[in-house]
Structure 1
Amino acid sequence: MHLCESGEGILERLDSGEVVIGDGSFLLTLEKRGYVKAGLWTPEAVIEHPNAVRQLHTEFLRAGANVMQTFTFSASEDNMESKWEDINVAACDLAREVAGKGDALVAGAICQTSIYKRHKDEARIKKIFRLQLEGFARKNVDFVIAEYFEHAEEAVWAVEVLKEWGKPVAATMCIGPEGDLHGLAPGECAVRLAKAGASIVGVNCRFGPRSSLKTMRLVKEGLRAAGLKAHLMVQALGFHTPDCGKGGFVDLPEYPFGLEPRVATRWDIQKYAREAYNLGVRYIGGCCGFEPYHIRAIAEELAPERGFLPPASEKHGSWGSGLDMHTKPWIRARARREYWENLLPASGRPFCPSLSKPDV
């Protein structure tokens, strides 16, 4: 399975201009498949249903991802009374097993704590991060990611801890164009993360492709104005969220069980991938709502830059190719890029509004 040209690390690949594709989020995908319960989204499936996690990693790898992110969201001492250590170790093993089948990298991931909003105890919060990091160090992941942070201050603490190990650190915040929940602008958030030692900075989750790219433009501008250099990373939702407020899709009345009408098409994600690439982003992936076919859309759009198509493309005709063999003439006429690129898909829901009013 040809996914990466070399065994180089994350920074070497990004420095060379290689496009790195991160696998999608496991949370909503595994919830829909019956393996994760909504709420804290703790990843017990890693040890309760390892085959489900392994299969999803495999599908993302086949679709074109060359980073396998450990399924360790909320797998920390503050969120789980027990098993969190076992989950972190097992998640690393699963990610490494699948990554080895495609010469992909393994990224150990931590997220914001549940206690930061109640009390900003830097020492206690850093201890939580450090305990998770110890598991990643034992399993020797290739690099580490601090993801899904609402507040730059806590994200900076995470980066400072992760830097202790000496492996490259990526840091992404779940913020939109308005910035973090303390009112810090995206550009300033990025500056603080870079100064703390993150080599890769960006955003993940909470907002759809369009909003995430708008935020990334502000991130890039902030770094440039401060004279700082960092690789850019974006992992948007697989949902359209133009009507959500500062808190993102968690404020929408459809969250988390009624989001399906908002799912992005594969063509939406191809546009997202191209716009991200043109913006200078080289680490491109997805978060909640992303399925393997969305990852494949990124890989297919950027195949000219990567130099190859993913294995999953063997069963997919780019821009509708293959439809020209269909028995219906009007469907054969859709076997062209112009048709799909300009399609305005209908929702099929005649009594539903096009936008919602967020709860907050």
Structure 2
Amino acid sequence: MMGSRGKGILERLNAGEVVVGDGGYVLQLERRGYVKAGHWTPEAAVEHPEAVRQLHREFLRAGANVLQTFTFYCSEDKLEISGNVTNITGAQINEAACDLAREVANEGDTLVAGAVSQTPCYLNSQNETEVKAIFKKQMDDFLKKDIDFFIAEFFRYVEEAAWAVEVLKTSGKPVGATLCISPEGDMSGVPPGECAVRLVKAGADIVGVNCHLDPLTCIRTVKLMKEGLEKAGLKAHLMIQPFGFHTPECNLGGYVDLPEYPFALEPRVVTRWDVHKYAREAYNAGIRYIGGCCGFEAYHIRAISEELAAERGFLPPASEKHGLWGAGLQMHTKPWVRARARREYWENLLPASGRPTCPSMAKPDGE
């Protein structure tokens, strides 16, 4: 893992370094017209590489240490049921995504993570052999491109995630595994602590959560995973990449149950100041791989980098014109705006929605 690209993921984490992950791709690319909502398959890596490349570059500039391949839902069964009329193969997407991530990662001291996610096959058959064959096929595509490590992400069932880890571990590369679960556990009712234990026993070097629920809720879940590992006498690095929207109606299904999903989530978006708080609380909880998932844009990743600048020892290029805690506002022509150039103002602000009839909470579907 050493060489021209510097230290590998485990070397960084073993040294106690903060690793900043990247942000979300599918929601951003859907908004920009490159991804089909609901299906979220990643053929844009082949059809519109410039769009994917640009997002990678924005996250890198914001301070990300890792760029994940844009390969979410890149299994042949998912591509087929999503109406893959262009007949782009999973192998084509995997290889193109690896090339794009590596191209941009080489512009900084940044690692490339090959990402695999849940499959329709698991829900349809729960056949271990069939599911593992899908992961093996994707893993082999990634190994042709020599990615730095693997991430198994967005799994609602720990059983399927553990199968993914078992396959990816045969590569000899480090493996991270994140579940999209709540503090209540996975969709089979397996508690977070037990989920973490099962993932580590399957071979995961890094465990945590991603997507589905807001940052502070995800921290609660990772804390429960940490407790489970400690009780079992197991060790693993902790990772978190949450949903970039507020979901106070915490529920097992996560954001997909919200009536605003997926086209009216904007009023729920976390502010950069929310992300400062999230980054600090995640760090204080012992989590050292801190990033974002759907809804996390480059300025959110920059907020993580800025909050943890002292621990990391540097600020990212995206902070050059920004100024910490709104310092750039000191040059504003309006005195009441200049007065906002301070941490205390933004930390204590309660943003208004600006929507006169907007309810403070929603009733998630199915509850």
Same fold by TM-score, threshold 0.5 exceeded?
Answer: yes
Secondary structure of the 2:137 match is helix
Cα distance in 1, alignment partners of residues 141 and 98 from structure 2: 9
- Say how many residue pairs are matched: 356
Matched, 1:21 2:20: yes
Structure-to-structure mapping, 1:60-209, within 5 angstroms:
60-81=59-80, 82=87, 83-209=89-215
Cα distance in 2, alignment partners of residues 143 and 245 from structure 1: 31
Query: 2:334 aligned to 309, 313, 328, which one?
Result: 328
Cα distance in 1, alignment partners of residues 64 and 77 from structure 2: 30
| 1:354 match | 360
Unpaired segments ≥5 residues, structure 1: none
Shift of 1:287: 0.3
Query: 1:213 aligned to 216, 219, 232, which one?
Result: 219
Q: CA RMSD in A?
A: 1.0
Secondary structure of the 1:225 match is helix
| 1:44 match | 43
| 2:34 match | 35
Cα distance in 2, alignment partners of residues 103 and 179 from structure 1: 35
| 2:84 match | none
Query: 1:278 aligned to 275, 281, 284, which one?
Result: 284
Secondary structure of the 2:330 match is helix
Shift of 1:127: 0.2
Cα distance in 1, alignment partners of residues 331 and 155 from structure 2: 48
Shift of 1:118: 2.0
Matched, 1:10 2:9: yes
Cα distance in 2, alignment partners of residues 73 and 11 from structure 1: 23
Cα distance in 1, alignment partners of residues 359 and 216 from structure 2: 20
Structure-to-structure mapping, 1:175-324, within 5 angstroms:
175-324=181-330
Cα distance in 2, alignment partners of residues 241 and 21 from structure 1: 23
Secondary structure of the 1:145 match is strand
Secondary structure of the 2:7 match is coil
| 2:348 match | 342
Cα distance in 1, alignment partners of residues 96 and 23 from structure 2: 19
Shift of 1:216: 0.9
TM-score (norm: length of structure 2): 0.96
TM-score (norm: length of structure 1): 0.98
Find runs of 4+ consecutive structure 1 residues off by over 2 angstroms: none
Secondary structure of the 1:59 match is helix
Cα distance in 1, alignment partners of residues 215 and 23 from structure 2: 14
Q: Which amino acid aligns with 1:132?
A: Q
Would you say the 8 A contact 1:244–1:251 is kept in 2? Answer: no
Secondary structure of the 2:114 match is strand
What are the Cα deviations for residues 232-268 of structure 1, in whole angstroms up to 9, with x where unaligned?
0000111000114101000000001100000000000
Shift of 1:167: 0.1
Q: Which amino acid aligns with 2:160?
A: E
Would you say the 8 A contact 1:76–1:85 is kept in 2? Answer: no
What are the Cα deviations for residues 125-161 of structure 1, in whole angstroms up to 9, with x where unaligned?
0000000000111101000000000001001000000
- Counting aligned pairs with the same residue, the percent is 70
Would you say the 8 A contact 2:121–2:130 is kept in 1? Answer: no
Cα distance in 2, alignment partners of residues 263 and 188 from structure 1: 31
What are the Cα deviations for residues 296-333 of structure 1, in whole angstroms up to 9, with x where unaligned?
00000000000000000012121110211111111111
